[in-house]
Amino acid sequence: MSKVGVIMGSKSDLPVMQDAIDILKGFDIEVEVDIVSAHRTPEKLFDYGKNAHTRGFSVVVAGAGGAAHLPGMIASLSPLPVIGVPVKSSNSIDGWDSVLSILQMPGGVPVATVALNGAKNAGILAAQIIGASDKCVLDKIVMYKEGLKVKVHESARDL
Ligand SMILES: Nc1c(C(=O)O)ncn1[C@@H]1O[C@H](COP(=O)(O)O)[C@@H](O)[C@H]1O
């Protein structure tokens, strides 16, 4: 069974990253959560990036704020798809510091970057990557999208 690694630079990112964890669990996808920091735990980062694909992960969702080097460094070390979540941390420059440091990767080392604090979409995107080769997950995504449509139709009825 596919597993998603959800990592973040600090426990202070958890309130944002929880959205990714919740949506993935809603799709019945196994999630392993950890704190990994390129700056504060470089050895752990190296070990995680080098070994994630042999530990059963299919996708890594990595969130960080400020000088957010975590997603890009994981992408540099791992053959897995990496989804980056820019986090608006308390001492950030409106979150732009994080957005740009995750978004502006050099050619050859992609990070699929979602919106600022967009952990929910990161979780959905991770599920969609898994769903491309897992019919069971794909069916759940089809149902999820149907649910979105129904909500819009219902809200339009109340106008
Ligand atoms: N951007 C990074 C990295 C990294 O990129 O490796 N490690 C921690 N951090 C970020 O520092 C911010 C403040 O962290 P603290 O709240 O622990 O001081 C967090 O948003 C974290 O993601």
pLDDT in tens, 95-136: 999 999 999 999 999 999 999 999 999 999 999 999 999 999
Q: How far apart are CA 53 and CA 66, in angstroms?
A: 27
pTM over 0.90: yes
Q: Is 41 in the pocket of ligand 1 (CB under 6 A)?
A: no
Q: What is the mean pLDDT of residues 41-70?
A: 98
- Whether residue 90 is predicted with pLDDT greater than 90 in this model: the reply is no
**Ligand 1 binding pocket includes 133 (Cβ within 6 Å):** no
CATH number at residue 106: 3.40.50.1970
Q: How far is the CA of 122 from the centre of ligand 1 (A)?
A: 18
CA-closest candidate to residue 71, choices 56, 57, 83, 54: 83
The rounded Å distance from CA 88 to ligand 1 centre is: 10
Would you say 13 is a known binding-site residue? Answer: yes
* pLDDT, the chain, mean: 96
The domain containing residue 137 runs over which residues?
Answer: 3-158
**Quick check: ipTM above 0.95?**
yes
Average pLDDT over every residue of 3-25:
98
The whole-number pLDDT of residue 93 equals 86
Mean pLDDT of 32-37: 98
Burial of 64 (0-12, 13-18, 19+ CB in 10 A): buried
pLDDT digits (tens, 9 = 90+) for 22-32: 999 999 999 99
Q: Is the pLDDT of residue 89 over 90?
A: no
Residue 91 scores a pLDDT above 90: no
CA atoms within 13 A on the CB side of 66: 12
The pairing of beta strand 3-8 with beta strand 57-65: parallel
Q: How many domains does the chain have?
A: 1
Any known ligand binding at 10?
A: yes
Please determine, for residue 60, whether its predicted confidence score (pLDDT) is greater than 90. Answer: yes
